[in-house]
Each structure stands twice: as C-alpha cells, then as structure tokens.
Amino acid sequence: MTDISSSPATDRPVVRLRPKAEARAIRHGFPWVYADELVTDRRTQKLASGAIATLEDAERRPLATVTVNANSKIIARVLDRDPEAVIDRAWLVARIARALDLRARLFEAPFYRLIHAEADGLPGVIIDRFGGAAVIQPNAAWSEAMIDDLAGALAEVTGVTTIVKNGSGRARGLEGLPEETVLMSGVLDGPIEVPMNGAIYMADLMGGQKTGLFYDQRPNHAFAARLAQGARVLDVFSHVGGFALACLANGAQSAVAVDASAAALDLAVRGAAAMGAGARFSTRQGDAFSTLEALASEGAQFDVVICDPPAFAPAKPALQAGLRAYERLARLAAPLVAPGGYLALCSCSHAADLVQFRAASSRGIGKGGRRSQLLHTGYAGPDHPMLPQLAESGYLKSLFFRLD
C-alpha cells in the first residue's frame, strides 16, 4: 500500500489551478477540482494516486490541502482549507470525533451513518455504524491508501471492535480502485440486528448491498409508518424490508416486500420474525416492473405503496432514460393504490434533481389514471448532512402522494 501520509507543507508537492479555473469556488467551500481545471504537467501526472498536495491558484497563492488522483475526473479533492494542514492519524481522529459528536446528539443508539463523505470533511469516505461494528467505504484513492490509519482512528474514537472495509461500487471504479471487501478487525458471526423506527432489521455487513443497510431513509420510513396504521402495504425495491418493516412495527395490517434479491428478502423475513411480525409479512422475489404488472393483473390493491428503486440516473448521460424509468414506475404503481390511499416514490439519483423527479412522478401517476395530492417531500436524515456547495451530497428525494 502506498504511503501518502502528509508531510509538512514545505516538503510536499504543489498543484496549481489553470488561469481560467474558478479559485473563488474553492475559497467559498466547493470541495472538488476537475481535471480540466488543473495544470497537469508530468510532475502532477506522476504523483501517486491519493497523494497529498498543496493547491495553489493561478497566481501561486496557496488555497488548500488537497488529495490528487490523476486517474480521476475529479483530479483533486479538498481535505482541509488550511494549506499547511498535516493529514495524519491525528487529523483523522479529529474529523471522526467531530462527526461522532453530532450523531451522539441525534440518536440514542449507535446505529447511524457516522461519516458522510465531503459533508463530514472526509472526501469520498462513507462510514456506517452498527453498534460495536462499522463498515468503511473508502471510495477515494487517498482513503484507500490510508485505510489502516482510518480504521485505527475510527476504533480510537468510537470504540468499535469490528471493522469491515467494503471496497465495492461505481465510485471506486471512477477512482481506478479495485473491488475488495475485507474484515479488517473483530468477528462477524452473521447479520447484525439493527433497531430503527421500532422495527428490527438484519444487516449483512460482508455480503449485503452497500454497507448492509440504508440509514438515509430513516425519517421517510417513519413518515410512511404514520400513513400505514391499519393499512395494507406494498414495499417495492424493499431490500431488507426498509419501509415494510417500519410500517409493520407501527401498526400496519400487513406488508408485502418486493425485491430482485432472494438474499435481501431472506433478511427481511428474519427481521420481521425477530420483531414478532412474521405472520403479517410476505415477499415476492422478481423484477419490480414485472411484479407490479402481475399484481395489477391479479387485481391487487394496497392502502400504501412505496417504491424505493436504485439510482435510475446515477450520472448525467443516464438522465433522460432515468426519468422515463421513474415515470414508468409511477404509472405502474398508481393503479395498485386503493382510493384515498398513499403512494411514495423515491429517488437516490444524483443527476435527477427534485423538480425533474417530481415532474416525472406526476406524469406517471396521471398516465396511471389517477389524480394526486403531494403531501410531503422527504430527504435523507441528519446523519447524512449536506454540504451546501455540493449538490451531489443531497441526493435523496422521497415524494408522498395521496391518490383519489
């Protein structure tokens, strides 16, 4: 593993913005420098991926301490606005401690997203906590190179004894990093029980999707559960039972979970059983769109239908196709909602903003033959803070409609 630990600013490399690059954006808190904004001479191109450097503007005035990856379209990421900051284990401890202070104020139990990348001052790093265990996603080259220091700082600050490195996903590919999931410390005997909104979820930290559980929907699970008291619920793209189990824990009559993954649905069944709701819970494995069509042909009706798909528009080239997919999903889901019932549609697509997603959803509901009221717009919980200068950090949108 390459050692990229930061040396004193006087000894480390310097990278420089091009004359037409907007230095003011960096000064005002924007955390990224794109490849066409940086002078990429031979010296810069030879830097180890994730190397720590001092960023200067075109007039050679120091701007920030950054990490550089010449293989990425985001060629530099701001680590610290202090150009002389030393990026070492003590620096990591300070960042994680600051993040922990916020979560400790927000949550009674230690189950939450602890580090939300740029918004928590650790670019490209995701850390989800599961009691005495945690999963690190080092999605930027610098964090991959400093993974041992990152894990050590995490254990020092939080006291977690089991740490998993989840090196999978699209973001790592964009950084030129390989896929690898490793148990770095501790022991895992199986899925971990996670209490949330009165429900019990089973999180597979080694083999599950992402870190094993999606904490970002916590407040939207709670809102859906309020609508679902005494209701029949359909949870599409359910993963390990996200919306369905929250609704069951708060008085839903029944819930059906739909997902393509048999393993995820098995964890959902185990979660329902652990909370004593197994008799009110059922699953259907298969493609979500095909399952919605099949349910319609069966004449099925539900009081609450929730669709929480993966990102249909993860990047701008996929935007139009993604919006069409969101519209189709709404069109197929709307007829399954009983008169006066509720439809929740969610998007975690970076490329589709709220206005575009809301328009696609409304078109789909109309094409599904229904008239709607938009009741509520939900976002990620406060353990997923947004960096105001970076729209991508506020990716989640959840729309709750009442259908006539």
DSSP string, 264-278: HHHHHHHHHHHTT-G
Q: Indicate the DSSP class of residue 342.
A: E
3-state secondary structure of 65: strand
Catalytic residue among 247, 307, 346, 348: 348
Q: How many CB atoms lie within 10 A of CB 9?
A: 17
**Nearest Cα residue to 341 out of 248, 404, 293:** 404
CA–CA dist 242, 222 (Å, integer): 10
3-state secondary structure of 360: helix
Q: Which helix (H) or strand (E) holds 144?
A: helix 141-145
Active site residue 307: no
Do residues 120 and 94 lie in contact, with contact meaning Cβ atoms separated by under 8 Å?
no
**Nearest Cα residue to 256 out of 221, 195, 307:** 307
CA–CA dist 322, 351 (Å, integer): 9
**Nearest Cα residue to 150 out of 110, 193, 120:** 120
| Per-residue b or e along 149-174, where b marks 16 or more CB atoms closer than 10 Å to that residue's CB | bbbbbbbebbebebbbbbbbeebbeb
Q: Indicate the DSSP class of residue 253.
A: S
Which residues are known to be catalytic? 348
